[in-house]
Every structure is written in structure tokens, then in C-alpha cells.
């Protein structure tokens, strides 16, 4: 589904929050930015995803980390590689190996 251009940004943080507490905070920020949860994978004002939570594997009804779709998303893995190029992804293997499996020509670095 085509939509407007958008920015994808990856950041690394240190937190004392538990994984679900971090998810609650991310969703609170999205709500403050008037995120509307309408069309699944549709355009949105803001979308904060937790890709990784340290080296932990977490699966619950509300949160799965590592993010199950991250290895299919060059727009997430490329910026992640800029900050952690030698990263090992729990359940998926090396970030470098995952990137080698993706088409990268649709990404424009600005």
C-alpha cells in the first residue's frame, strides 16, 4: 500500500524499565502524538517499536522481542547496523547475515 514518505530511526537506550513498562511508555508517547491505530501497517503519525531488549527473548500477548518482523525490514536493520554493526540478534543470528538477505535499494539515507 503506497503512502507518504517517512523517516525510520533506530536508537539505543539504557533503561531501568522492564520490557512491558517500556512498551507502555512508547504507547503513551504515540498517544500524545495522536497516533491512530486504524489500518494494520498503514500510514501513521508515529510508530515506536521495540526491536530488541538487550539479549532477551520476550513473548507475551502484548510484546514480542526481538521484533518478529525486524529481519524482513531493511528500514530497521540498516540504521541498526549503523549503531551496532557486529550485533548478534537473539533467535536470528548476526545482523550482517540478516542484512545480506534483504533488498536494500528501496532505502535512501538522508
Cα–Cα distance between 78 and 9 in angstroms, integer?
Answer: 10
pLDDT, tens digit, 9 for 90 and up, residues 56-82: 999 999 999 999 999 999 989 999 999
Secondary-structure percent of the chain, ordered helix, strand, coil, rounded to 5: 30, 5, 65
Find where cell 538477505 sits.
Answer: 101
The yes or no reply on domain 19-100 and CATH 3.40.225.10 is: no
Catalytic residues: 35, 44, 47, 49
Q: Which helix or strand (DSSP H or E) is residue 59 part of?
A: strand 58-59
Domain spans in the chain, listed from the N-terminal domain onward: 19-100
pLDDT by residue, tens only, the chain of 110 residues: 566 667 788 999 999 999 999 999 999 998 888 776 666 655 667 888 999 999 999 999 999 999 999 999 998 999 999 999 999 999 999 999 999 999 888 777 77
- Report pTM: 0.83
Amino acid at each position: 500500500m503506497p503512502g507518504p514518505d517517512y523517516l525510520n530511526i533506530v536508537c539505543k537506550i539504557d533503561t531501568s524499565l522492564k520490557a512491558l513498562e517500556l512498551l507502555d511508555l512508547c504507547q503513551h508517547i504515540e498517544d500524545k502524538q495522536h497516533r491512530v491505530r486504524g489500518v494494520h501497517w498503514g500510514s501513521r503519525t508515529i510508530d515506536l517499536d521495540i526491536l530488541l531488549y538487550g539479549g532477551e527473548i520476550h513473548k507475551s500477548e502484548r510484546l514480542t522481542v526481538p521484533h518478529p518482523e525486524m529481519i524482513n525490514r531493511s528500514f530497521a536493520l540498516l540504521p541498526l547496523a549503523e549503531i551496532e554493526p557486529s550485533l548478534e540478534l537473539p533467535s536470528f543470528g548476526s545482523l550482517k547475515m540478516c542484512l545480506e538477505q534483504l533488498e536494500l535499494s528501496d532505502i535512501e539515507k538522508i
